[in-house]
Structure formats: C-alpha cells, structure tokens
Amino acid sequence: MIDKLAALGRQGLDVLASLGRAGQFLAGVLGGVPRPVAGFPLLVRQLYAVGVLSLAIVVVSGLFIGMVLGLQGYTILSDYGSESAIGQMIALTLVRELGPVVTALLFAGRAGSALTAEIGLMKATEQLSSMEMMGVDPLKRVISPRLWAGFIAMPLLAIIFSVVGIWGGMLVGVEWLGVFEGAFWGNMQSSVDFWEDVMNGVIKSLVFGFVCAWIAVYQGYDCVPTSAGISSATTKTVVYSSLAVLGVDFVLTAVMFGDF
C-alpha cells in the first residue's frame, strides 16, 4: 500500500520535473534564436520537411472534411428549407474550429512524430553530444529551426485547409446538390467577419503550431536514447500534442467567442 502511494508520488514528481525541463529547454531555444543569415538555410530545410511535405495530407483531409460538412449541412438545413445557409455553416465551422484543430492534429501526427523520432535518433547515436563537443550548440543548430518551422508552417497549413475545405463544401453543395451559388457566397460573406473569425482562427493555429512543435522537439530531445525510448517518445508526442491542442482550443474558444 505504502509502496503504491510512493510510486504514485514519484510519478507525479516525474511529471513535474519533466514540465520543468520542458520550460528550461524552451527558454534555452528561444534565447538562442539562430543568427538570421547562418540559420536561414536550416530553417528552409525544416520548413520543407514540416510544411511542404505536410501539404498533401492537409489538402486531401480538408477537401474531404469540407465535402462531408456540405453533405451533412445540406441534409439538416434542407429540413428547414434554409439550405442556402450551408455556405455560412461550412465557412464558420472551418475557419473558426475545424481548420486550426484538425490541421494541428494532422500536423502532430505527420510532422511532430517525425521531428521527435529524428531528434531522438540524433540523441541515441550521440550526434547531439558530438555537436556539443565541437562547440556547436545543438539547441541553436538542431532544435531552434525546427521549432520556428512548426510555428511558421502551421498557420499557413490551417489557412490552406480552410480554403480547400470551403471549396470542397461548395463542390458538394452548389455543384452536386444544387444550392444557389449566389446565396451560398452571399450568406457566407455577410456572416464571416475577417477579424473576428478568420484572424481568430489564424491566432489559434499559431498557438497550436507553437504547442505541437514545442512538444515534438522536447520529447525528442528528452527521450531515453534507446530504440524503445524513441518509440515511446514518438507516441508521447502524438498523444500529448493532440490532448494539448484540444485543451488549448477550448480555452482559446472561451476567450475569443465566449461572452464573459
């Protein structure tokens, strides 16, 4: 009994210590922003890995989610004879919620896990410590460009997701189900506000990008340098990122759209 209690306490302390290390780590990375000229090629390389290569999954998911929204919205709204509100429904859902959140979840699975595994393997094969031996700070050279790449790529991906999703919704609603196109765009434009809706979505995705990239690089950097350690760190990245995104999303939504 006492043993179990002690184990519980140790686990709690482990979690706290890990949070503390993550904070220290973040301070170290942000304190060491790479010099723009020297760091730029590294950043481009990471933007390619994190952003360009995630584009395909983001575009395809966005298209299908928009099409599903179009179908579902049509079935529900046509009961009330207001299927022209479908544009408004699709646009608001995507721009405010689904765009940032689903992109962040995909991003955690597609890019976050790769970041963790890559950094974890670098640690396991002692590339990080050899860098330190050569007087190169791995936080600056390896971690910082990856963090910045996640932070930059995520909002762009979320915006592309929303636009493709709305186009998919239009494809289903207007082209296939025959909603009047003028009403589709008109309702959308009169109800979506650029600053209130679009920009709040972009702010959300910036926060999500930061959270996902931070968790991914930290888990890689902090992993146990064995094959089992890397695999558990990769799993943790996906699980923690998803949970963090959904939790942070609730808080952000409450702050942005809640009236209090």
**Among 22-30, 197-205, 240-248, 250-258, the segment contacting another protein (CB under 8 A):** 197-205
Residue 116 CA, chain-centre distance (Å), reads: 14
Give the chain's largest Cα–Cα span: 70
Task: Tell me if 233 sits within 8 A of 122, measured CB to CB.
Answer: no
Least distance (Å) from another protein to the CB of residue 90? 10
The pair of three-digit structure tokens given for residue 172, joined into one six-digit string = 């289903």
48 binds another protein (CB under 8 A): yes
56 binds another protein (CB under 8 A): no
* Near another protein in 93-112, by CB under 8 A: 95
Task: Tell me if 115 sits within 8 A of 149, measured CB to CB.
Answer: no
Q: At CA 171, angle to CA 208 and CA 81, rounded to 5?
A: 100
The pair of three-digit structure tokens given for residue 257, joined into one six-digit string = 């759209």
60 binds another protein (CB under 8 A): no
Among 101, 153, 211, 215, binds another protein (CB under 8 A): 153
Helices and strands in the chain: count of H runs, count of E runs: 12, 0
Least distance (Å) from another protein to the CB of residue 38? 14
Question: What is the C-alpha separation between 19 and 243, in angstroms, rounded?
Answer: 15
Q: Which is nearer to another protein, 149 or 230 (CB)?
A: 149
171 binds another protein (CB under 8 A): no
Residues that bind another protein (CB under 8 A): 41, 44-45, 47-48, 51-52, 55, 82, 91, 95, 153, 155-157, 159-160, 162-163, 166, 185, 188-190, 192-194, 197-198, 202
